[in-house]
C-alpha cells in the first residue's frame, strides 16, 4: 500500500494485518489500565482524604490517603507495567514483513539469533 | 553567587555539549537524512525512549512551578501532579504498535506525515502545521525565558547573558545532532532529574527533622495543607480530576510525544520504555512535589513559587551538591526546549517546504535547509525571549491544552476507527482549538465552567466534531 494512495483499490486483500489485532488489544489494555489507575487514585484520595483531618492516620509520616492513593498507587502501577512489559505484551516486527505470522514459535527482535532447534 | 554551585552546572553544560557532538558524528550512517535528523533513524532503545519521553514532557512547570504551587497549596497539589504517572504507559500503549507500524508503512517522519497519509487531505496537513508552528513556537519561547531566568537567579549573571549561555548550549547540539542528540541528551538530563530530586528530597527531610516532624509543623500551621483540598479548601475533586485529561491521557495528542512513539527500534524497546517511563515519571513527580510541600516548614515565607526549589536547594545542601541538584530543573527545561525546537523545524522543513513548496528538493538542499532552519529558529527564539512579546505569552497559554484538544482525536481515532475521515479530523481540530480559546476566556471571566480545567470541555467537543464530521458529511471506510 503506497502512502499517496492509502485507499487504492488494487490492494484489495480483505484480511487485516494480523499484527493489528494484537495492537488493538494492547491499546485497550492501556485504556483499561488508565481507568483502573484513576479509580484507585480517586478512591483513596477522596475516600480516605474526605474525612476530617483529625481522623487521618500517618503511614511513613505521610497522610494515609496520600500514601495509599499516590505512593502505593504509583508502586502498583509500576509493578503492573513491568509485568505487562515482561509477560503480556507481544513482540512483533514493526516493518512490513509479509512472512510474519502471529504466535511464531520463538520470535525475538534479533532475528539473526537462532536457537539450537527451531 | 557561590562558585561551588557553578562548577557542577558548568560540568553539566559541557557534558551535554559533548553528547550532542558525539551524536552528530553518528549521523548519516545509512537511511535518509530526514529520517535520521528528525527521527534518529527510528532506532531508539527502551531506556533512551523512556527518558526522552519523560524529559520532553517534564518541563519548567514540573520542576519549578509545580513544586512552588505544592509549597503554597500542600498535598492537594501533589495529588494533582501524580495524575502524570499515567502518561508513562498510556501514550505508548494507546498509540502503540499500530502507530509504529503505520508510520513506517507511510514512511512518516513527522506527525503531520501520518495525518496526511491517513486523511489524504492538504487542508488537514496545513491546519496541523500552522497549529504546531504557532503554538509550539510560543511554548518554546516561554521555556527559554524560564531557562534564562533560572541561570540568572543561580549565577547572578544578567538575564541577557544568562539567556545567551542557555541558547548557545541548546542550539549547538540540536542543530548539529538532530533528534539523536536530543534523545541522548534527554536521557542524561532525565537521569540527572532522577538523582537530583532524590538528593534534594532527602536533604529537605533531614533539614525538617524527619517526615513526622514536618507533618506536625504543617498541621500546626494549617491542617488543610495535608488534605486533598488545598490550603484554602478550594481544590475540588472535579477540578483536580480534570487534570487527568490535561497532564494525563490528553498528552497522547501532543506532537512532541507523538513523534517519539514513532522513533523506537523494536516492539521490545517500547515494552521496556513503558515500564521505565512509568517508574521514572512517578518517581520524579512524587519527589519534586514532596520537596515543595516539605520545604514549607523548613524555609517559610517564600513569595515567588518558582524560587522554592532553588532556594531550598541552597538552604539544605552543601553548595556543590546544590549545583548538581539545580542542574535538574536546568535539564528539564533544556530537554523540553530541544525537542520543541526540532519539532517546529521539522514542521517547517518537512511539512511545509517539502510537502507544499518543493517536493522534489535534492537531498543536499534538504540537509542545508534542515540545519539552517533549526539554527535560524533558535536565533529568532533567542531574540524574542530577550523581551517576549505579549502575543507569544498569550499564545503559550493555549500551547498545551489547545494542541491536545486539536490532535487527540484525529490521531487516536484516525488510528483505530476506520470511519474517521478528513472532514471529521478538520472539524475536530478547528473545534478543539477554537473552543479552547473561547472557554479560556470564559473561565478567566466567570470562573471554571462546570468546575473543571479549561481543557476538559474542548476535548469532549472535538470528539463530537470528529464523530459528526466523519459520519455526517461523507462516509467511506479507510483501509489501513
Q: What is the pLDDT of residue B30?
A: 57
A73-93 pLDDT per residue, tens? 999 999 999 999 999 999 999
Q: Cell 533558535, residue?
A: B378
Q: Do A49 and B227 touch (CB under 8 A)?
A: yes
| pLDDT of residue A112 exceeding 50 | no
Q: What is the pLDDT of residue B1?
A: 55
Using alpha carbons, list the distances in angstroms from residue B186 to B127, B175, B332.
29, 15, 8
Least confident of A63-67, B148-152, B458-462, B465-469: B148-152
Per-residue H/E/C for B394-419: HHHHHHHHHHHHHHHHHHHHHHHCCC
A70: nearest CB among B78, B107, B416? B78
Highest mean predicted confidence (pLDDT) among A61-70, B35-44, B131-140, B379-388: A61-70
Q: Average per-residue pLDDT in chain B?
A: 91
Element housing B162 (H / E)? helix B159-207
- Of chain A, the percentage scoring pLDDT greater than 90 comes to 64
Confidence bin at A14 (pLDDT 50/70/90): low
Chain A interface, best mutation among B89, B122, B291, B475, by max A CB count within 10 A: B89
CA distance A105 to chain B (A): 17
Q: What is the pLDDT of residue B128?
A: 95
Residue in A with minimal Cα distance to B216:
A61
Residue range B112-141: mean pLDDT, rounded = 93
Q: Are B178 and B27 in contact (CB under 8 A)?
A: yes
| pLDDT of residue A105 exceeding 80 | no
Element housing A92 (H / E)? none
Query: Which residues in chain B have Cβ-Cβ distances shorter than 8 Å to A41?
Result: 79, 82-83
- Report the alpha-carbon distance of residue B174 to residue B170 in Å, rounded: 6
Long-range contacts, B361-365 (Cβ 8 Å, 24+): B363/B32, B363/B33
Confidence bin at B31 (pLDDT 50/70/90): low
Per-residue H/E/C for chain B: CCHHHHHHHHHHHHHHHHHHHHHHHCCCCCCCHHHHHHHHHHCECHHHHHHHHHHHHCCHHHHHHHHHHHHHHCHHHHHHHHHHHHHHHHHHHHHHHHHHHHHHHCCCCCHHHHHHHHHCCHHHHHHHHHHHHHHHHHHHHHHHHHHHHHHHHHHCCCHHHHHHHHHHHHHHHHHHHHHHHHHHHHHHHHHHHHHHHHHHHHHHHHHCCCHHHHHHHHHHHCHHHHCCCCCCCCCCHHHHHCHHHHHHHHHHHCHHHHHHHHCECCHHHHHHHHHHHHHHHHHHHHHHHHHHHHHHHHCCCCCCHHHHHHHHHHHHCCHHHHHHHHHHHHHHHHHHHHHHHHHHHHHHHHHHHHHHHCCCCCHHHHHHHHHHHHHHHHHHHHHHHHCCCHHHHHHHHHHHHHHHHHHHHHHHHHHHCCCCCHHHHHHHHHHHHHHHHHHHHHHHHHCCHHHCCCCHHHHHHHHHHHHHHHHHHCCCCCCC
- Report the alpha-carbon distance of residue A70 to residue A37 in Å, rounded: 10
B58-78 pLDDT per residue, tens? 877 778 889 999 999 999 999
Query: Which residues in chain B have Cβ-Cβ distances shorter than 8 Å to A3?
Result: 105-108, 117
Confidence bin at A10 (pLDDT 50/70/90): very low
Confidence bin at B169 (pLDDT 50/70/90): confident
Q: What is the pLDDT of residue B477?
A: 87
Integer-rounded Cα Rg, in Å, for chain A is 23
| pLDDT of residue A100 exceeding 70 | no
Least confident of B296-300, B409-413, B475-479: B475-479
- Report the alpha-carbon distance of residue B272 to residue B276 in Å, rounded: 6
CATH of B3-388, one of 3.40.50.720, 3.30.390.10, 3.40.50.10090, 1.20.1730.10: 1.20.1730.10
Confidence bin at B381 (pLDDT 50/70/90): very high
Confidence bin at B402 (pLDDT 50/70/90): very high
Integer-rounded Cα Rg, in Å, for chain B is 22
CA distance B291 to chain A (A): 13
The residue ranking higher by pLDDT, B327 or A53, is A53
The residue ranking higher by pLDDT, B392 or B116, is B116
Query: Which residues in chain B have Cβ-Cβ distances shorter than 8 Å to A47?
Result: none
Least confident of A105-114, B2-11, B38-47: A105-114
Confidence bin at B284 (pLDDT 50/70/90): very high
Which are the contacts of B66, defined by CB distance < 8 A and separation ≥ 6?
B77, B81, B285, B288, B289, B292
| pLDDT of residue B261 exceeding 60 | yes
Q: Count other Cβ atoms within 10 Å, centred on residue B36.
A: 22
Residue range A30-55: mean pLDDT, rounded = 96
Instruction: Say whether B74 sits in a helix, a strand or coil.
Output: coil
Q: ipTM above 0.95?
A: no
CA distance B401 to chain A (A): 19
Provide the residue ranges of all domains of chain B, joining segments of one domain with +.
3-388
Q: What is the pLDDT of residue A107?
A: 45
| Planar angle of CA B296, B298, B302, nearest 5 degrees | 50
Whether residue B479 lies within 8 A of chain A, CB to CB, comes out as yes
Phi/psi of residue A74, each to 5°? -65, -45
The residue ranking higher by pLDDT, B20 or B212, is B212
Q: Do B479 and A7 touch (CB under 8 A)?
A: yes
Q: What is the pLDDT of residue A19?
A: 92
Count how many pairs of residues, chain A against chain B, have C-beta atoms within 8 Å: 175
Confidence bin at A115 (pLDDT 50/70/90): very low
Highest mean predicted confidence (pLDDT) among A102-106, B158-162, B295-299, B359-363: B295-299
| pLDDT of residue A2 exceeding 80 | no
| pLDDT of residue A117 exceeding 50 | no
Phi/psi of residue B422, each to 5°? -65, -30
Q: What is the pLDDT of residue B304?
A: 85
CA distance B292 to chain A (A): 14
Q: What is the pLDDT of residue A118?
A: 35
Q: What is the pLDDT of residue B447?
A: 87
Q: Are B197 and B67 in contact (CB under 8 A)?
A: no
Which are the contacts of B40, defined by CB distance < 8 A and separation ≥ 6?
B178, B179, B180, B183, B263
Q: Cell 484520595, residue?
A: A45
Residue range B206-221: mean pLDDT, rounded = 96
Strand-pairing partners, residue A62, are: A59
Residue range B130-138: mean pLDDT, rounded = 92
B98: nearest CB among A23, A50, A96? A23
- β-pairing, A58-59 vs A62-63, is antiparallel
Residue range B454-461: mean pLDDT, rounded = 95
| pLDDT of residue B432 exceeding 60 | yes
| pLDDT of residue A116 exceeding 60 | no
- Report the alpha-carbon distance of residue B335 to residue A98 in Å, rounded: 38
Q: What is the pLDDT of residue A52?
A: 95
| pLDDT of residue B5 exceeding 90 | no
Strands (E), B369-416: none
Q: What is the pLDDT of residue B458?
A: 96
Amino acid at each position: 500500500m503506497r502512502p499517496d494512495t492509502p485507499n487504492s483499490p488494487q490492494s484489495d486483500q480483505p484480511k487485516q494485518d494480523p499484527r493489528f489485532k494484537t495492537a488493538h488489544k494492547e491499546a485497550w489494555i492501556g485504556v483499561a489500565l488508565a481507568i483502573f489507575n484513576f479509580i484507585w487514585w480517586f478512591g483513596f484520595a477522596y475516600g480516605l482524604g474526605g474525612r476530617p483531618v483529625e481522623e487521618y492516620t500517618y503511614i511513613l509520616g505521610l497522610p494515609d490517603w496520600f500514601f495509599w492513593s499516590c505512593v502505593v498507587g504509583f508502586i502498583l502501577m509500576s509493578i503492573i507495567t513491568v509485568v505487562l512489559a515482561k509477560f503480556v505484551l507481544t513482540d512483533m516486527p514493526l516493518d512490513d514483513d509479509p512472512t510474519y505470522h502471529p504466535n511464531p514459535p520463538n520470535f525475538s527482535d534479533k532475528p539473526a539469533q537462532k536457537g539450537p532447534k527451531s | 553567587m557561590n562558585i561551588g554551585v557553578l562548577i557542577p552546572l558548568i560540568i553539566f553544560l559541557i557534558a551535554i555539549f559533548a553528547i550532542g557532538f558525539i551524536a552528530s558524528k553518528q549521523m548519516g550512517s545509512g537511511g535518509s537524512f530526514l529520517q535520521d535528523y528528525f527521527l534518529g533513524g527510528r532506532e531508539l532503545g527502551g531506556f533512551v525512549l523512556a527518558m526522552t519521553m519523560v524529559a520532553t514532557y517534564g518541563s519548567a512547570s514540573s520542576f519549578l512551578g509545580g513544586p512552588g504551587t505544592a509549597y503554597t497549596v500542600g498535598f492537594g497539589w501533589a495529588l494533582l501532579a501524580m495524575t502524570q504517572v499515567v502518561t508513562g504507559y498510556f501514550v505508548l500503549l494507546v498509540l502503540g504498535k499500530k502507530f509504529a507500524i503505520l508510520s513506517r508503512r507511510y514512511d512518516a517522519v513527522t506527525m503531520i506525515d501520518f495525518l496526511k497519509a491517513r486523511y489524504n487531505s492538504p487542508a488537514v496537513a496545513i491546519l496541523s502545521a500552522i497549529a504546531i508552528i504557532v503554538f509550539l513556537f510560543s511554548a518554546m519561547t516561554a521555556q527559554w525565558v524560564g531557562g534564562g531566568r533560572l541561570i540568572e537567579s543561580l549565577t547572578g549573571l544578567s538575564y541577557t547573558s544568562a539567556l545567551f549561555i542557555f541558547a548557545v548550549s541548546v542550539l549547538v547540539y540540536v542543530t548539529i545532532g538532530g533528534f539523536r542528540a536530543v534523545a541522548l541528551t534527554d536521557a542524561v538530563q532525565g537521569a540527572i532529574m532522577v538523582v537530583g530530586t532524590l538528593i534534594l528530597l532527602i536533604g529537605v527531610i533531614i533539614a525538617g527533622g524527619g517526615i513526622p516532624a514536618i507533618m506536625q509543623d504543617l498541621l500546626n500551621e494549617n491542617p488543610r495543607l495535608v488534605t486533598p483540598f488545598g490550603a484554602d479548601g478550594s481544590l475540588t475533586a472535579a477540578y483536580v480530576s480534570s487534570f487527568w485529561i490535561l497532564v494525563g491521557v490528553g498528552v497522547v495528542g501532543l506532537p512532541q510525544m507523538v513523534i517519539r512513539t514513532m522513533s523506537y527500534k523494536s516492539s521490545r524497546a517500547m515494552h521496556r520504555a513503558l515500564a521505565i517511563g512509568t517508574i521514572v515519571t512517578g518517581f520524579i513527580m512524587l519527589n519534586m512535589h514532596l520537596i515543595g510541600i516539605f520545604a514549607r516548614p523548613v524555609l517559610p515565607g517564600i513569595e515567588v513559587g518558582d524560587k522554592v526549589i532553588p532556594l531550598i536547594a541552597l538552604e539544605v545542601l552543601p553548595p556543590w551538591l546544590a549545583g548538581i541538584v539545580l542542574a535538574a530543573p536546568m535539564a528539564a527545561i533544556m530537554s523540553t526546549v530541544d525537542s520543541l525546537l526540532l519539532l517546529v523545524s521539522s514542521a517547517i522543513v518537512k511539512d511545509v517546504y517539502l510537502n507544499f513548496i518543493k517536493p522534489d528538493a535534492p537531498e543536499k538542499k534538504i540537509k542545508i535547509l534542515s540545519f539552517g532552519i533549526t539554527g535560524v529558529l533558535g536565533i529568532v527564539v533567542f531574540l524574542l525571549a530577550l523581551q517576549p512579546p505579549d502575543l507569544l505569552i498569550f499564545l503559550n497559554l493555549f500551547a498545551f491544552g489547545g494542541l491536545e484538544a486539536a490532535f487527540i482525536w484525529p490521531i487516536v481515532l484516525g488510528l483505530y476507527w476506520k470511519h474517521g475521515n478528513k472532514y471529521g479530523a478538520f472539524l475536530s481540530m478547528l473545534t478543539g482549538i477554537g473552543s479552547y480559546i473561547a472557554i479560556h476566556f470564559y473561565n478567566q471571566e466567570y470562573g471554571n465552567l462546570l468546575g473543571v480545567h479549561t481543557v476538559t470541555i474542548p476535548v469532549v467537543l472535538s470528539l463530537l466534531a470528529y464523530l459528526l464530521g466523519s459520519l455526517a458529511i461523507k462516509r467511506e471506510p479507510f483501509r489501513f
